[in-house]
Amino acid sequence: MMMIPNKIQIPTSVHEAGPGGDQYRCQRVYTVSRTRISLRRSRREGIPHVRARGDAFRLFAITHPPWACTSHHTVARQGSVSERQRTVRVRAAPPDHAKVKAIATMLVPPEMMAAQSKLVYQMNKYYNERVANRKAQIAKTIHEVCRIVQDVLKEVELQEPRFISSLTDYNGRFDGLEVVSPHEFEIIIYLNQMGVLNFVDDGSLPGCAVLKLSDGRKRSMSLWVEFITASGYLSARKIRSRFQTLVAQACDKCSYRDCVKMIAETTEVKLRIRERYIVQITPAFKCAGLWPRSAAHWPLPTIPWPHPNIVAEVKTEGFDLLSKECLTLQGKNSAMEGDAWVLSFFEAENRLLQGGCRKKCLSILKTIRDRHLDLPGNPVTCYHMKTLLLYECEKHPREHEWDEGAIGDRINGIFLQLISSLQCRRCPHYFLPHVDLFKGKSPTAMENAAKQVWRLTREMLTNSRAFEKL
């Protein structure tokens, strides 16, 4: 008969670089027993002590923020304790969560293991009902919004043939359309003939780059000659200003002029449709076959995700340069601010989230955000969720960690990342870690969001039927 020790401790001490290269230290303690499970986190992170009783084994497999460094896992089993308690110590760096979970499986009764199956059922039900309903409503809205925007862009093209609409319907999917929220969308209009311009990314403009006239090329050779500055840079702001004027005129001429209006007091091209939806139309250049120097560190050599073939595919696909306001440059009085183009990795991010339940996970996160985290000041966006999901993919690089049975643990891990990010008031961009996605957010709004996220996380961790209420 195999003897199982009353207590097994697996202490580990590892130092990991967090997003942006910063070093973080914290301590975690997990305890699993027949009657209780507790999670302790460093007080420095300001996360309260959680204690749940009963059917809560799933906490054991929780995922931590990617910058968590020092861990201490404890697995305890109730029962008779011998006079001299036996302890087995194993050292590992980083901790092997699969082995720890296997040990826990031996020690936890079958009725507690049923909690994981119950959670999977609740998640699938939530996805098939709440998430599916959100997707259906958004699909209906997109069809209505894009029909109106297409009509506006046709008028723009008649006035200025250089602004050709690239908003095309591919079996219900529109190229260049991003859902910001159920009532807010961004549409990318791709411009032509970037050929005579050089892409310059020297790191002086975080999150941005400039397009400069090639040496020896005459200004007249560019399709966008009147938007090139005296220094030879193609000004993103000048192009956007011209496009804004054209869209305003088109709104007055198009067949939907009674239900579409330009939003004033902004340099962005934003439309209000039927007083319910906001659509931002952004001119952009697609940079295929290029990869910016500011993202050259990706992927990290120490992380086995993504697969090299996918990395090559992503870098070949390239990125976009958007003509929009750059938050990272605001307040710096940079002479290049008006000329700078914002780097966007929208397609690259979507490619990385293919496979396993990653996209399903993102849909659930977006739904929870829209229902419970649409707070004053907009401290938490769907893009924050998407970014933290990408960090979670790095933390769990194996495909089996993204099957249906693990989706609850991945969701919990992302919410813990979100709490830490809000309390640290920093959320690094996935490809550009020096860019803080929380820049410009109110500290009060982030603090309130952290409290709300913690309430949601605590409910998900302690209540196996939490998704019935979310």
Q: What is the DSSP string of 319-334?
A: EEEE-S--GGGTTTT-
Tokens encoding 188: 């990318």
Mark whether 172 and 49 lie in a shared domain. no
| Cα–Cα separations (whole angstroms), residue 175 to 189, 221, 356 | 9, 29, 24
Mark whether 98 and 141 lie in a shared domain. no
Q: How far apart are the first and last CA of the chain?
A: 46
pLDDT digits (tens, 9 = 90+) for 132-160: 999 999 999 999 999 999 999 999 999 99
Mark whether 99 and 170 lie in a shared domain. no
| Domain contains 241 | yes
Q: How confident is the model at residue 307 (pLDDT cuts 50, 70, 90)?
A: very high
Tokens encoding 6: 């009353």
Mean pLDDT of 205-234: 82
Residue written as token pair 């399903």: 360
In the DSSP assignment, the letter for residue 143 is: H
| Domain contains 268 | yes
Write down the pLDDT at residue 203: 82
Residue written as token pair 């308690």: 85
User: 120 by DSSP, 3-state: which?
Assistant: helix
pLDDT digits (tens, 9 = 90+) for 403-455: 998 999 999 999 999 999 999 999 999 999 999 999 999 999 999 999 999 99
Question: Which among 36-40, 199-203, 299-303, 419-423 has the top mean pLDDT?
Answer: 419-423
Buried b / exposed e along 387-417 (16+ C-beta atoms within 10 A): bbbbbbbbbbeeeebbeebbbbbbbbbbbbb
Mark whether 88 and 53 lie in a shared domain. yes
Write down the pLDDT at residue 230: 86
Q: How confident is the model at residue 110 (pLDDT cuts 50, 70, 90)?
A: low
Phi, psi of 342 (to 5 degrees): -85, 130
User: 96 by DSSP, 3-state: which?
Assistant: coil
Q: Given 299, 321, 352, which residue is the final one in a domain?
A: 352
Tokens encoding 167: 């908003």
Tokens encoding 368: 């929870």
d(CA 334, CA 212): 17
pLDDT digits (tens, 9 = 90+) for 316-347: 999 999 999 887 766 565 667 788 999 999 99
Write down the pLDDT at residue 109: 55
Question: DSSP E strands: which ranges in 274-347?
Answer: 277-287, 319-322, 341-344
Mark whether 118 and 134 lie in a shared domain. yes
Tokens encoding 49: 């002590």
Mark whether 123 and 174 lie in a shared domain. yes
Tokens encoding 217: 């090329």
Mark whether 271 and 335 lie in a shared domain. yes
Closest CA to 62 of 103, 126, 116: 116
pLDDT digits (tens, 9 = 90+) for 362-406: 999 999 999 999 999 999 999 999 999 999 999 999 999 999 989
Tally of CA atoms within 13 A in the half-sphere of 157 that contains its CB: 13
| Domain contains 63 | yes
Q: Given 87, 111, 135, which residue is the final one in a domain?
A: 111
Q: What is the CA radius of gyration of the chain?
A: 25
d(CA 176, CA 181): 15
CATH number of the structural domain spanning residue 270:
3.30.460.90
Query: Mean pLDDT, the chain, as a whole number?
Result: 79
Mark whether 180 and 41 lie in a shared domain. no
| Domain contains 38 | yes
The larger pLDDT score, comparing residue 103 to residue 22, is at 103
Mark whether 295 and 150 lie in a shared domain. yes
One-letter amino acid identity for 249?
A: Q
In the DSSP assignment, the letter for residue 15 is: -
Full residue range of the structural domain in which residue 217 is found: 112-352
| Cα–Cα separations (whole angstroms), residue 267 to 335, 336, 441 | 17, 16, 20
| Cα–Cα separations (whole angstroms), residue 59 to 67, 119, 206, 216, 358 | 19, 11, 38, 63, 20
Mark whether 124 and 67 lie in a shared domain. no
| Domain contains 14 | yes
| Domain contains 461 | no
Residues 162, 192 contacting (CB under 8 angstroms): yes
Mark whether 105 and 217 lie in a shared domain. no
Buried b / exposed e along 68-81 (16+ C-beta atoms within 10 A): bbbbebbbbbeeee
| Domain contains 413 | no
Question: Is 61 a residue whose pLDDT tops 90?
Answer: no
Number of domains the chain is built from: 2
Q: Given 326, 352, 378, which residue is the final one in a domain?
A: 352
| Domain contains 330 | yes
Strand partners, 273: 260, 277
Mark whether 105 and 119 lie in a shared domain. no
Closest CA to 464 of 123, 222, 233, 41: 123
